[in-house]
Amino acid sequence: MKGRPPALDNSCYAQFTPRWLYSILSAMELAVYLVFLVFLVAFVGTFGRAFFRGAPYAPSDPRAIATMLGLAKPAQQDVACDIGSGDGRIMITLANYCERVDGYEINPFLVLWTRMRLRRRNLSDRVKIFRGSLWKADFTKYSVITLFGIPYIMKELEKKLLQELPKGARVVSNRFTFPNWKHAVKKDRVYLYVKE
């Protein structure tokens, strides 16, 4: 046989597929796209919001966490707080030393994830994660603060912490310094501040 093969004729299938089925399938396809779009916007939006109202999400590595806690020396009687708590890793580590640990986190996905991690470890009753902005939090009860922020929040945060923290409170900051508050100790890239 020579020449091109005969063209496929789909018309026999088309006539067995009713128009209403096409409409339903198209509507379902549209719904799937819409749901995907809503999730995409929510996901990008929440991470973007964190970027503009604080720091973007970047977890502290285990070595930095060990240095932070080594400098802050959290103890049983301390009430500790991780500001912008991400996936909750610092809160979970702090719970090995302190009876009460809090965290503030603006990103609802990370809050959800942290709550699941706390539940799995039976820590939910003494380790609390608050969804919301650190700028609205009240830090007056905390004696230990851990922080991994970003340079452009440090000036405003310094003011807030100096106004609210009790005397003797220790603040450990991973990587970034406050503009005026003099650190007591620096180790690797972690800074310890003590409220006088």
Ligand X SMILES: C[S@@+](CC[C@H](N)C(=O)[O-])C[C@H]1O[C@@H](n2cnc3c(N)ncnc32)[C@H](O)[C@@H]1O
Applying CB under 6 A, the residues found at the interface with ligand X are 50, 53-55, 57-60, 82, 84-86, 89-90, 104-107, 110, 133-135, 148
Letter for the amino acid at 103?
Answer: G
Which residue lies nearer to ligand X by CB, 129 or 169?
129
Determine the residue with CB nearest ligand X.
54
**14 CB-near residues (< 8 Å, 6+ apart):** none
Which residue lies nearer to ligand X by CB, 7 or 85?
85
In the complex, minimum distance from the CB of residue 66 to ligand X, in angstroms, rounded to a whole number = 12
Which residue lies nearer to ligand X by CB, 57 or 181?
57
Are the beta carbons of 168 and 98 closer than 8 angstroms? no
Of 60, 54, 55, 57, residue with least CA distance to 190: 60
In the complex, minimum distance from the CB of residue 72 to ligand X, in angstroms, rounded to a whole number = 13
Give the strand pairing for 79-83 and 144-147.
parallel
Question: Which string of DSSP letters, residue by residue, matches 134-162?
Answer: GGG---TT-SEEEE---GGGHHHHHHHHH
In the complex, minimum distance from the CB of residue 185 to ligand X, in angstroms, rounded to a whole number = 19
Of 52, 60, 58, residue with least CA distance to 135: 52
In the complex, minimum distance from the CB of residue 188 to ligand X, in angstroms, rounded to a whole number = 14
Are the beta carbons of 161 and 139 closer than 8 angstroms? yes
Could you tell me the CA-to-CA distances from 150 to 38, 51, 99 in Å, in that order?
29, 9, 28
Which residue lies nearer to ligand X by CB, 23 or 132?
132
In the complex, minimum distance from the CB of residue 155 to ligand X, in angstroms, rounded to a whole number = 15
Which residue lies nearer to ligand X by CB, 53 or 119?
53
Which residue lies nearer to ligand X by CB, 74 or 86?
86
In the complex, minimum distance from the CB of residue 135 to ligand X, in angstroms, rounded to a whole number = 6
